[in-house]
Structure 1
């Protein structure tokens, strides 16, 4: 890890959430994702990322692309991790 890279306490939480939501489903509603992130008391920055998603239903790859795009736009990929 780069000496200047900072990993937040919430690093990897988005990946864990995505893994859990898609463990039993092929498609996830944005509302399910937002509600679960709130229940899990996500860091406010991560909640912001989740809330940036447009309403709709997401297959895993599309959701990951959307989340990773928002993380990259904020420069938080190294801080919170990306999702796959």
Structure 2
């Protein structure tokens, strides 16, 4: 069974760029609300929902999100974030 890139490939990078466009630190709630406004697929909403409560620098956010994406084996399907 071949795995193909999703039509939503790269959307997490756009979400990350928008989250940190004006702020160096964001709250988990900011990420959840923006993810819901992006109408992400349920897989990616789950990734955001799995974030522990607290504040995030861009690097910490990317590390957490990439860890979850990789752990689910979705890196090729949805892409990772920087």
TM-score under structure 1 normalisation?
A: 0.92
Residue aligning to 2:49: 51
TM-score under structure 2 normalisation?
A: 0.95
Matched, 1:63 2:56: no
Inter-partner Cα distance in structure 2 for 1:6 and 1:50: 22
Inter-partner Cα distance in structure 2 for 1:31 and 1:9: 26
Inter-partner Cα distance in structure 1 for 2:18 and 2:71: 25
Specify every segment of 5 or more residues in structure 1 that has no aligned partner in the other structure, as ranges. none
Residue aligning to 2:40: 42
Residue aligning to 1:30: 28
RMSD of aligned Cα (Å): 0.8
Inter-partner Cα distance in structure 2 for 1:19 and 1:67: 13
Residue aligning to 1:79: 77
Report how many residues are paired: 81
Specify every segment of 5 or more residues in structure 2 that has no aligned partner in the other structure, as ranges. none
